[in-house]
């Protein structure tokens, strides 16, 4: 999502508390956070933050990120940013769910243990359904099974425990649908056949995306900081080209660039490199790809078509949301297929309104949050208002 507020001498950048409480000037529901919970369990070493951005459309759904943040402030900043993104993602996906996100501070390879996950699950349970958690960076299906021993408000569990399993499967499928729509908008055909696609990050989602692209006839170039992740892709697809790092990928004469690692992938330098290399489309799985306000306009000014990240990567949340009522993979996949149509709609709206696609996507998500949350003013017999 975009955020056009900037800091100046007369309007300094907001502090953490003002960021949590603030409401945008147009009063759009969902701006500002409803609730932020700090979770600390000394015995297990748990330090976690649960950020509920909006319940305008329903309970806040969003994953739990387990990450070694440099500071607690950095962890809070990530939780606030990611939870706001989930409100917009769930709104555009057509889900009756709000936006939330949680972060656990620590090294998932060293610090994660059963007691810590179960302690976290009890904090989730204490919110009584205002927040529903799932997998994210550093957490996996097996972790959700452990958390579920303490709370019912968890999705992304293993199939043997009644869950949807690995949500990265439909995340990648959804990104591929967004990429097909981008190809339709840019080249007139919904296929990547004959196009050169660069994928930065081939871990959870990226390796599934590569499989879709290869099957569609694309030439694929990849990079990842993990040698194991690269080797996994090469074992399945020996024809894939590998480059040393993201800098090399940006210069690899790409038609499409797919950032699929952590956020902030699209900064001034990256956009400049993409423009200089003649890249036509950016469409990837990473969250919060725009490093700062204005990047979306820079992309548009350079003629690069940007598929908003929280739109095209919503397949995963569609998958875990389906689990809430009893998971059916084909039903969830059919919903994720609609990402193609929504992406085309966003491009059409952007052209009609003369704005970047990221702005058009924000407007559509905000419209849905505003209109559906207004239904709460209609009092139902036997129900409390709101």
Q: Where is the binding site, in residues?
A: 201-206
> CA 121, CA 144: separation in Å to the nearest integer?
9
CB 155 within 8 A of CB 320: yes
CB 243 within 8 A of CB 249: yes
CB 87 within 8 A of CB 56: yes
| Dihedral (Cα; 23, 28, 31, 37), 10-degree rounding | 100
From the candidates 101, 112, 195, 335, which is the catalytic residue? 101
Query: Among residues 17, 320, 286, 29, which one has the least CA distance to residue 162?
Result: 320
CB 317 within 8 A of CB 61: yes
A 10 A CB-CB count for 269 gives: 11
Query: Among residues 164, 84, 87, 162, which one has the least CA distance to residue 335?
Result: 164
For the four alpha carbons of 335, 100, 373 and 2, in that order, the dihedral sign comes to: negative
Quick check: helix, strand or coil at residue 269?
Answer: helix
Query: Among residues 77, 253, 63, which one has the least CA distance to residue 168?
Result: 63
- Has 297 been annotated as catalytic? no
Backbone phi and psi for residue 284, each to the nearest 5 degrees, phi listed first: -145, 180
Point out the annotated binding site for NAD(+).
Answer: 201-206
Quick check: helix, strand or coil at residue 317?
Answer: helix
> CA 314, CA 92: separation in Å to the nearest integer?
9
CB 137 within 8 A of CB 167: no
R_g of the chain computed on alpha carbons: 20
Catalytic center residues:
101
């Amino acid at each position: 999502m975009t955020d056009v507020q900037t800091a100046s001498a007369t309007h300094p950048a907001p502090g953490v508390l003002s960021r949590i409480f603030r409401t945008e000037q147009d009063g759009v529901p969902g701006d500002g956070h409803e609730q932020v919970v700090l979770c600390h369990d000394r015995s297990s070493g748990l330090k976690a933050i649960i950020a509920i951005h909006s319940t305008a459309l329903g309970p806040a759904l969003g994953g739990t990120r387990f990450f070694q943040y440099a500071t607690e402030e950095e962890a809070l900043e990530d939780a606030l940013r990611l939870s706001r993104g989930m409100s917009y993602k769930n709104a555009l996906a057509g889900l009756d769910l709000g936006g939330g996100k949680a972060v656990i501070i620590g090294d998932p390879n060293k610090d994660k243990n059963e007691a810590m996950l179960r302690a976290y699950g009890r904090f989730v349970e204490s919110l009584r359904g205002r927040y529903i958690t799932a997998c994210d960076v550093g957490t996996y299906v097996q972790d959700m099974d452990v958390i579920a021993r303490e709370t019912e408000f968890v999705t992304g569990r293993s199939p043997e425990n009644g869950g949807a399993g690995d949500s990265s499967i439909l995340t990648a499928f959804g990104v591929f649908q967004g990429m097909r729509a981008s190809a339709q908008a840019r080249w007139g055909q919904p296929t990547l056949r004959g196009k050169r696609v660069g994928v930065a990050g081939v871990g959870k989602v990226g390796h599934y995306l590569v499989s879709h692209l290869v099957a569609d006839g694309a030439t694929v170039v990849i990079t990842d900081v993990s040698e194991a992740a690269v080797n996994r892709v090469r074992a399945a697809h020996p024809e894939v080209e590998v480059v040393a790092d993201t800098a090399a990928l940006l210069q690899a004469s790409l038609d499409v660039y797919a950032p699929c690692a952590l956020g902030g992938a699209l900064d001034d330098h990256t956009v400049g490199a993409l423009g200089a290399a003649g890249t036509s489309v950016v469409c990837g799985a990473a969250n919060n790809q725009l490093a700062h306000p204005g990047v979306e306009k820079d992309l548009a000014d350079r003629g690069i078509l940007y598929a908003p990240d929280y739109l095209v990567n919503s397949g995963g949340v569609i998958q875990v949301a389906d689990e809430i009522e009893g998971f059916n993979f084909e039903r969830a996949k059919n919903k994720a297929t609609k990402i193609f149509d929504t992406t085309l709609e966003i491009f059409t709206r952007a052209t009609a309104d003369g704005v970047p696609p990221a702005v058009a996507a924000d407007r559509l998500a905000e419209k849905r949050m505003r209109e559906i949350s207004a239904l709460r003013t209609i009092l139902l017999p036997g129900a409390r208002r709101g």
